[in-house]
Structure 1
Amino acid sequence: MTRCRSAKKMVKDNLVVNFVHEFAMLWDDSDELRLKNLGSTIRMAVNRVTPESPPHFKRFYVYFKAMKRGWKEGCKLILGLDGCFLKGPFKGEQLAAVGRDGNN
């Protein structure tokens, strides 16, 4: 049982390190999206407990220019909200606004 617990702890610690590394890459991802998709809306929000503390990820919002244009030109005015709860070391909720395609 002790071996199983230590193996489980080692796997969880590795997952947390991977999550932290992936969240750190979000700054680069948002900058790259801004460069490659002109006219798109990209917003990232972080929290800081104090000005010297490291940022804590809060939310990431992306609305591509092609999606804006497609929504205005072809979609019906049916809007829905879809969401799911995130599991793992960092709990949260993922929400997405969805619309119905005019050809559907």
Structure 2
Amino acid sequence: MIKCRKAKKMMKDKLAGNFLQEFTILWDYVDELRLKNPRSTIKITVNRVTPHSPTHFKRFYVCFEALKRCPFKGKLLVVVGRDGNNQMYLVA
């Protein structure tokens, strides 16, 4: 039983490390987008429960400068829903 707990804890730690690594890559992606698309709007929102707790990803918004020049002025409607398993799916 102790081996199972150790294995479970080890896998949880590995998965948490992967999430942290992917989260830092997201910030690098934002920096690269800002570098390559200077007049684009790029916003990333994170949640923090307490000032000392780790950040949790909430949302990511991008409006490229080229879309702002088109007739629709960057307005694009996308609707996303959640199913019974809390998974996201595209509605429209």
TM-score by length of 2: 0.59
Q: Distance in 2 between matches of 1:78 and 1:37?
A: 19
* Runs of 5+ unmatched residues, structure 1: 99-104
Tell me the matched-pair count: 88
User: Per residue, is there more strand in 1 or in 2?
Assistant: 1
Match of 1:34 in 2: 34
RMSD between superposed Cα atoms in Å = 3.9
* Runs of 5+ unmatched residues, structure 2: none
- The aligned amino acid for 1:40 is S
SS in 1 for 2:38: coil
SS in 2 for 1:72: coil
SS in 2 for 1:38: coil
Matches within 5 A, 1:1-104: 2-48=2-48, 49-50=50-51, 53=52, 56-57=55-56, 58-69=58-69, 72=72, 79-84=77-82
1:40·1:64 contact (CA, 8 Å) conserved in 2?
A: yes
Closer, same or farther: CA 64–78 of 1 in aligned 2, 3 Å? closer
1:79·1:97 contact (CA, 8 Å) conserved in 2?
A: no
Q: Distance in 2 between matches of 1:55 and 1:64?
A: 29
How far does residue 39 in structure 1 lie from its aligned partner after superposition?
2.8
1:84·1:95 contact (CA, 8 Å) conserved in 2?
A: yes
